[in-house]
Structure 1
Amino acid sequence: MENGVKKQDQLTPPPVPRVAVVLFVLKGKSVLLGRRRSSVGDSTFALPGGHLEFGESFEECAARELKEETGLDIGKREYLTVTNNVFVEAPKPSHYVTIFLRGVLVDPDQVPQNLEPEKCYGWDWYDWDDLPNPLFWPLEKMVRSGFSPFPTE
């Protein structure tokens, strides 16, 4: 032990914040949600999305992640908000700055596929006024605050 710090602690880099981009895919008054298969938030319902890659715009990340996870093509995407989420109780503590966008499908008749079954139990449309439980913590927090992803016009 040196200066009160264990050798092992010196070798393990501290966790750093990561950037996630998630997408409210809207269809009428419904939103697309998938049930997570993950050490963080397992079996909770969450929006499609993932990690921002180097040099990628938020809009590019949202379209890429949606395509990789569901096979769906998104049209116009627009920024909604950002949240700062720290998961200290998780098996592996993590810190995410999450960018929320909304978008509408290029073809409203597209059907979501579960292209990453190791990460998701499946995708479906849920009425905003009757969302499934449990929601992934960051999404639940937004819903409880009264946030709505739908345009006001």
Structure 2
Amino acid sequence: METGGVATPRVAVVVFIVKGNSILLGKRRSSIGDSTFALPGGHLEFGESFEECAAREVMEETGLLIEKMKLLTVTNNVFKEAPKPSHYVTVFLRATVVDPGQDPENLEPEKCEGWGWYDWFSNLPTPLFWPLEKMVKSGFNPFL
């Protein structure tokens, strides 16, 4: 989003959906981070709480209902190298699925190649989306 020719920071809400030691990741189809693995999430809309945004975005992208949401951290991400430079303040939540037996669906195939469960401690796919990779390398643990 631009105002007067200057890129304006936006707020993204993303979710570590946890099941056992695994998290849900999708392979991005986007001008930012194309073909990298990322958490479900999206842009905060006017008037939404972080939890409302998380639940809406996860439902729109995966068809999953989530619960037990908890705020984990916030990061400041500036993408200078992207085709269109952008700046995101990213809010990270943790949640669980209401029905652990339900499989995620790829409801936005134009934005994601598909969803899968990956063990956080031993089986993360590569390449990870840059902000997530930075968290992993810092020793961040979404289960704490």
- Coarse TM-score class (shorter-chain normalised): over 0.9
Mapped pair 1:80 → 2:68: no
Q: Any unmatched runs of 5+ in structure 2?
A: none
Taking only aligned residues, the RMSD between alpha carbons, in angstroms, comes to 1.0
Q: Equivalent of 2:134, from 137, 141, 152?
A: 141
1:59-78 per-residue CA deviation (whole Å, 9 max, x = no partner) reads 00000000000000001101
Alignment map for 1:89-104 (pairs within 5 Å): 89-104=81-96
1:25-52 per-residue CA deviation (whole Å, 9 max, x = no partner) reads 0000000000000011000000000000
In structure 2, C-alpha distance between the alignment counterparts of 1:38 and 1:75, rounded to whole Å? 27
Match of 1:113 in 2: 105
> Scaled by the length of structure 2, what TM-score is found?
0.96
The letter for the 1-side match of 2:51 is E
Mapped pair 1:44 → 2:36: yes
1:72-98 per-residue CA deviation (whole Å, 9 max, x = no partner) reads 000110100000000000000000000
The letter for the 1-side match of 2:135 is M
In structure 2, C-alpha distance between the alignment counterparts of 1:82 and 1:113, rounded to whole Å? 27
Match of 1:3 in 2: none
Structure with bigger gyration radius: 1
Q: Any unmatched runs of 5+ in structure 1?
A: 1-10
Which 4+ residue blocks in structure 1 deviate beyond 4 angstroms?
A: none
Match of 1:16 in 2: 8
Match of 1:59 in 2: 51
The structure with the greater share of residues assigned to helix is 1
Percent of residue pairs bearing the same amino acid type = 74
Match of 1:128 in 2: 120
Instruction: Give 3-state SS (helix, strand or coil) of 2:26's partner.
Output: strand
Instruction: Give 3-state SS (helix, strand or coil) of 1:141's partner.
Output: helix
The structure with the greater share of residues assigned to strand is 2
The letter for the 1-side match of 2:127 is P
* Aligned length, in residue pairs: 141
Deviation at 1:13, TM superposition (A): 2.2
1:104-125 per-residue CA deviation (whole Å, 9 max, x = no partner) reads 1111001000000000000000
In structure 2, C-alpha distance between the alignment counterparts of 1:75 and 1:88, rounded to whole Å? 35
The letter for the 1-side match of 2:118 is Y
